[in-house]
Amino acid sequence: MSKRQLAMVMDLNKCIGCQTCTVACKTQWTNRNGREYMYWNNVETYPGTGYPKNWMELGGGFDAAGDLQPGVIPNLEADYGVPWDYNYESLMGGMADSNTFHPHVSPTWGPNWDEDQGAGAFPQDNYFFYLPRICNHCTNPGCLSACPRDAIFKREEDGVVLVDLDRCQGYRYCIAGCPYKKIYFNPKISKSEKCILCFPRIEQGLPPACAQQCVGRIRFVGFLDDEESQVYKLVHKYKVAIGLRSDYGTQPNVYYIPPTESPAKFDAEGKIIEGSTRLPIEELEKLFGPAVHDSIKTLKAEMKKRKETGVSELMDLLIAYQHSDMFRLDNNYYQQVAKENKRNPLAPVDTRYIAGKFTKAGGHH
Amino acid sequence: MKKLLTTILSLGVAASAALAGDLSLTAVKVSDKLDTVSADSALWSKAKFSTVDLYPQTAIEFNDKEAIEANKANKGKKVQVAALHNGSEIAVLVKWADGSKNVQGIKCTDTYSDGFALQFAGSTKKAQPLPYIGMGSEGRPVVVHLQKATEKVYEPNGNKDVSTQINRQQTGVFGKELAEYDAKVASLANTDFERVFVGEGFRSLTEIKDKSVKSNASMKYENKGWTGTLVRPLKDDYISASGTLPVAIAVWDGAKHGRNGLKLLSSWVAINLEGSKANNAVVAEATEVSKGDAVKGKLAAETNGCAGCHQIDKSAPAGTMAPSLVNIGGYSTAAYLRESILKPSAVVVPGYNRNAHANTPWYTIEKGKRVSTMTDYSFLDKGTVDDIVAYLKTLKVEVE
């Protein structure tokens, strides 16, 4: 158990599926061979196949008794999709084998393959919403429990879940153990890699790239024990932000404000069915559990209150007037940790991610 | 005639049962240099080949659904082992059948490679009993040489150091310069997956990356089988062999998603160095056949409630309270089994959350050490313990 826990809240009512977060993360962190196919952050259309394909059916997580469940390791080509490139060089250099623009492989699958498909029949009752996903930096991580090498650890300072790249030998039980399939195998270096919650940015007081670049301003970041933070208020005070698939028993630390508003259905004559909503509550229950009812109730009540009285702290929070207000990151805290550990405050607080425990320096214990 | 044949057959079975997995073999002394020995070396014609049985390691069930399915009907396997030494180096050859050549692809996330490992008991003042066969045990280290079949891997700095891996997109070079960069990367690419580890108990296995072990391992696939060879010094910072060298052998089958604990493993094998005085204590421990009565031992195990926590019968579900004993007789020495009954905390297999969750731990942590929750059975008389050990030694699957 870490001393403090960083958390993120994503307001799904505001996500427009623009993939800016995906691009911000991808360009920031695809800095090593073998990471090309990995999307540490992705935004999928729900309902949909997701990324990797059918991730919700691939197992992992814990059962009610606390036993880790077996899972399936996705296949790069079939389940993630091979990252394809185009024949830019031959076209630009005028040495084209053909004069058409084409990918270097015939893609059969990729992230967002089923973008905006959703469910239902258009225009009567079709619906979908966007679901951005990153590593949940769980309090009880399935990946950590599954690792026989003790290569995954949760940082004491902030609960960020990292892979010790020196200890990792590429066994991939972590991937089977993570119910969100948010840990990836790098086949080039034969080690697991994952979202690091942009900890080198966090330690300098900057939000993760996905959160800072988000044009919909859907993401809040802060410490769960900081009662002034938005994440504390949304998760604990108002209880409107809920973990994704909490039934897996991993206690995720990325929380979601469930989508509350959806259009009404049309009947056979094209007339609105009063009181109907296209978004089935069962789907939201599947993702967020029974707590979604109270969350939606609170959100609607606060919206009403705001309309009637003009006052609602919750609505003010969710509107997020100032982008900078969405992130309460304690740069001084990290500087203090660095000082206590006699480290350079500009260097990462925990070097295990970068250097690992080398034989001579760390010993075998 | 039929009766005679049956007798011969049963004698054969009895003889192989007595020998299987409880072997000592001889490293033939040669005067040649061994550092370049490979599977094709003519020197192996001088060696004496012995058969060693390897059993599926099943103490823990891992959480990979497809791997569990692929290993469900797993049997033991016979491997041929030979060794040579020249007074300063030892070369070991392991030959085993494998119907499919599996090489870890660099463009795939769910394939696994074939491989083999040789484990040596590390230097320690207290030689007996031998370390736990898996990862060694506290105060009784092991050195593990691992060789896997891999494709050419891009490792631009050639040092297996992941912190300086650079993507070609981020080199800041274009066109001709990028082509030159690619050529340089290809020239530095690493084709070999050879690793050396030191371990003193589960979760302690640490790769030795400072080049303090001078070894050379290689694998060759032909005629539906692998031949793996390893050459290493008889003495270095980690092992100190004189007379007899305890070795354990493991092989991985990529087709069955083998890696880590999903492997076939031998018990300790004592390799006597020809021309040196054998270490009789090590030979005795590796080859000990329990004097107890297995039938009485089975009854004693039932009376003392072993099956309450341990999985003994393969048809029972994997235990959440203790390691599985389904193949324990295949890869454990009688000494280890006796020690585990009398001092359960001497070696504690940590278990992973899949098998030992927070509500039913099979060990607790006291002063930083794993303490087993198993009852200390030192109150049992010596005869009963011997009987239980004899019974546990019978727990192993069939060898194909």
Residue B319 covered by a domain: yes
Locate A256 and state its tokens.
């979601």
Indicate if B119 and B264 belong to the same structural domain. Answer: yes
Residues B125 and B204 in one domain: yes
Contacts of B354 in chain A (CB under 8 A): 67-70, 145-146
- In the predicted model, residues of chain B with pLDDT beneath 50 are 1-22
End of a domain among B230, B257, B287? B287
Residue B356 lies in a domain: yes
C-alpha to C-alpha distances, A293 to A128, A239, B215, nearest whole angstrom: 19, 11, 63
What does the mean pLDDT of chain A come to? 90
Question: Is residue B367 assigned to a domain?
Answer: yes
* pLDDT for the residue B17: 38
Is B191 an 8 Å CB contact of chain A?
no
Q: Which residue of A has its CA nearest to B142?
A: A364
Asked if residue B18 is part of any domain, the answer here is no
Closest approach of chain A CAs to the CA of B143, in angstroms?
Answer: 11
* Residue with tokens 């278990």, as numbered in its chain: B351
Suggest the residue from A189, A248, A251 to mutate for an interface test with chain B (most B CBs closer than 10 A). A189
> Which DSSP category does B89 fall into?
E
If one compares A167 and A94, the residue with the highest pLDDT of the two is A167
Name the nearest CA neighbour of B68 among A173, A350, A194: A173
pLDDT of residue B129: 83
* A32 contacts in chain B (CB < 8 Å): 162, 165-167
Domain co-membership, B45 together with B65: yes
Q: Indicate whether A275 pLDDT > 50.
A: yes
Range in A63-67, A292-296, B170-174, B323-327 with the lowest mean pLDDT? B170-174
Query: Are B111 and B258 spatial neighbours (Cβ–Cβ below 8 Å)?
Result: no
pLDDT for residue B368? 80
- Does the pLDDT value for residue A361 go beyond 70? no
Does B198 contact A148 at a Cβ distance shorter than 8 Å?
A: no
Task: Tell me the per-residue pLDDT of B112-156, one tens digit each, with 9 for 90 and over.
Answer: 999 999 999 987 666 568 888 878 888 889 999 999 998 877 666
pLDDT digits (tens, 9 = 90+) for B52-70: 999 999 888 899 999 999 9
Instruction: Give the orientation angle of helix B382-393 with respect to helix B334-342, to 10 degrees.
Output: 130
- The verdict on B219 and B138 lying in the same domain is yes
Whether A255 has a pLDDT exceeding 90, the answer reads yes
Q: What is the CATH number of the domain that holds B313?
A: 1.10.760.10
Whether B5 is in a domain gets the answer no
* Burial of residue B223 (number of CB atoms within 10 Å: 0-12, 13-18, 19+): exposed
Q: Is residue B222 within 8 angstroms of chain A, CB to CB?
A: no
CB B227 within 8 A of CB B47: no
Residue B13 lies in a domain: no
Q: B149-186, pLDDT tens digit by residue?
A: 988 776 666 666 676 677 777 777 889 998 888 887 77
Whether residue A314 contacts residue A294, with contact meaning beta carbons closer than 8 Å, is answered with no
Q: What confidence tens digit (pLDDT) does each residue in A165-222 have?
A: 888 889 999 999 999 999 999 988 889 999 999 998 999 999 999 999 999 999 999 9
Per the CB < 8 Å rule, is A176 touching B320? Answer: no
pLDDT score at B12:
38
Domain count, chain B: 2
Place of tokens 């060794």: B83
Q: Give the CATH number, domain containing residue B65.
A: 2.60.40.1190
- Asked whether the beta carbons of B118 and B145 are under 8 A apart, the reply is yes
Helix and strand counts by DSSP (H, E) for chain B? 8, 15
Q: Is residue B7 situated within a structural domain?
A: no
pLDDT at A97: 62
User: Residue A299 pLDDT more than 50?
Assistant: yes
- By C-alpha distance, the chain A residue nearest B163 is A354
| B147 shares its domain with B164 | yes
Is B166 at the interface with chain A, CB within 8 A?
yes
What's the Cα-to-Cα distance from A143 to each of A273, B107, B353, rounded to whole Å? Answer: 46, 22, 10
* ipTM of the complex model: 0.90
What domains lie within chain A, and their CATH numbers? 6-85+108-331 (3.30.70.20)
* Same domain assignment for residues B367 and B253: no
Position A351 scores a pLDDT of 65
The separation between CA A188 and the C-alpha centre of its own chain, rounded to angstroms, equals 24
Residue A69's pLDDT band, with cuts at 50, 70 and 90, is very high
Domain boundary among B287, B305, B336: B287
pLDDT at B79: 97
| B50 and B142 share one domain | yes
Same domain, B367 and B262: no
- For residue A76, which residues of chain B lie inside 8 Å, CB to CB? 107-110
Residues B179 and B307 in one domain: no
Residue B232 lies in a domain: yes
Among B287, B321, B350, give the residue marking a domain's end.
Answer: B287
User: Is residue B276 domain-shared with residue B364, that is, in the same domain?
Assistant: no
What pLDDT, on the 0 to 100 scale, is given for residue A359?
36
- Both B283 and B312 in a single domain? no
Q: Which of residues 66-125 of A touch B (CB under 8 A)?
A: 66-77, 80, 82
Residues of A in contact with B107 (CB under 8 A): 76, 82, 187
Look up the domain containing B330 and give its range: 294-392
B300 and B260 in one domain? no
User: To probe the interface with A, which of B108, B162, B202, B236 has the most A CB atoms within 10 Å?
Assistant: B162
Longest dimension (CA), chain B: 82
A181 to A50, A176, A271, A304, B356: CA distances (angstroms): 11, 8, 42, 38, 23
| Chain A 147-166, residues with CB within 8 Å of chain B CB atoms | 147-150, 165-166
**Positions of E strands within B86-178:** 89-97, 115-121, 142-148
Query: Please, which residues 270-289 of chain B have a Cβ atom closer than 8 Å to chain A?
Result: none
